[in-house]
Amino acid sequence: MKLALLGFGNVGRALLNLLERRLGQHPFRVVGIHTSRQGTLICPEGIAAPPTLGPRMATVEEFLDAARADILAELTSLNPESGEPAISHIRAAFARGMHAVSANKGPVAFAYRELADEAARGGLRFLHESATMDGTPVYNLVRHCLPGVRVLGFAGALNSTTKIIIDAMERGLGFEEGIEEARRLGVTEADAGFDIEGWDSACKAAALANVFMDARTTPQQVDRKGISRLTPEKLAELRAKGKTVALISRGRATPQGVKLRVRAEVLDRTDVLASMRGTSNLLEIETDLMGTIGVFALNPGVDQTAYGVYSDLLEIARHSTMNRPEG
């Protein structure tokens, strides 16, 4: 199956490398790469790493028309205000009969229901495993392993930057030094305020609620407060009482609809939600038939994000094979 990569940063590069490492074990061939500044490359025979991109095509539509791929991998940067232009990229792919996978959480956080319906109308798939926990199976877990279950709520420690800042402050460092540490580790968005003020956590909460609970919500509708008022002194005080703080994304089904909240919560140090450090993350899922279950990842990195995209691609390939008419 032919793949078009839109965005070729950390995840795009890791994905191309992963596809090369697994050559012969999958049916994929990258036939096009397009980015906003690096340029464009179309190669129907397949692109090898590291690629040299040529002049940039004028529009994403022109790129998709030239690539003639079966699947679009949407790997561009997140726009936390609207999810665009990634949503339009995916719509442009559907309009050309292409499936779409997204590591970008924007489309899932802002337009999941519309995109899922649009894909279904065209007999296409829209998958997004890497959008929330760096490739750790959360969407696949519910879709494949919990048939017939209703998700009633969730709670997740899903933002790395704030964990690193809190950890640094618990070691006596200042807030700014914590931000610097997160920057050095390469986990902070260009604008650290996006993590600190809870927008990243709100995007993840909206994405989870849209997929698990059909919430049809957006990050702006999440009741959100970040960690900017935390101080080393406050954390030392809590530590003396056996407590700590973590930025938690919560969702809950109520008779009035799905309620979403992001807060710097005071937790017992023994609480499982307080146990994640650095880029490690954890999600608890409360269900009607299976009680509360959880999934965690220890120190995931960009290779795990690329794996999440790869797992989506494999699912599309498996599905396409199953649906192919015999003859």
> Which residues in this chain contact ligand NAP in the complex, by CB under 6 A?
6-12, 34-38, 60, 75-78, 85, 103-104, 130, 134, 302, 305
Q: What are phi and psi of 287, to 5 degrees?
A: -125, 165
- Tell me whether residue 161 or residue 244 sits nearer to ligand NAP (CB atom): 161
Which alpha helices (DSSP H) does 44-174 contain, by range? 60-67, 86-95, 106-121, 130-133, 139-145, 160-170
User: Rounded distance, CA 325 to CA 72, Å?
Assistant: 23
Say whether 151 sits in a helix, a strand or coil.
strand
Tell which phi-psi region holds residue 89, choosing left (phi > 0), alpha (psi between -120 and 50) or beta: alpha
Sheet holding 71-74, edge to edge: 40-42, 29-34, 2-6, 71-74, 99-102, 126-127
- Report, in Å, the least distance between residue 203 CB and ligand NAP: 9
- Report, in Å, the least distance between residue 2 CB and ligand NAP: 18
- Report, in Å, the least distance between residue 189 CB and ligand NAP: 8
Within its chain, how far is the Cα of 158 from the centroid?
A: 10
**CB closest to ligand NAP, residue no:** 9
- Report, in Å, the least distance between residue 115 CB and ligand NAP: 15
One-character DSSP codes across 264-306: EEEEETTSGGG---TT-EEEEEEESSS-EEEEEESS--HHHHH
Say whether 258 sits in a helix, a strand or coil.
strand
Which of 155, 61, 67, 74 lies closest to 110 in space, CA to CA? Answer: 74
Which of 230, 172, 217, 165 lies closest to 195 in space, CA to CA? Answer: 165
- Report, in Å, the least distance between residue 250 CB and ligand NAP: 20
- Report, in Å, the least distance between residue 318 CB and ligand NAP: 23
- Report, in Å, the least distance between residue 297 CB and ligand NAP: 11
Within its chain, how far is the Cα of 143 from the centroid?
A: 16
Q: What are phi and psi of 215, to 5 degrees?
A: -75, -20
User: Rounded distance, CA 90 to CA 99, Å?
Assistant: 8
- Tell me whether residue 129 or residue 181 sits nearer to ligand NAP (CB atom): 129
Residue that the structure tokens 């500044």 belong to = 37
User: Rounded distance, CA 129 to CA 146, Å?
Assistant: 16
- Tell me whether residue 38 or residue 275 sits nearer to ligand NAP (CB atom): 38
- Report, in Å, the least distance between residue 263 CB and ligand NAP: 22
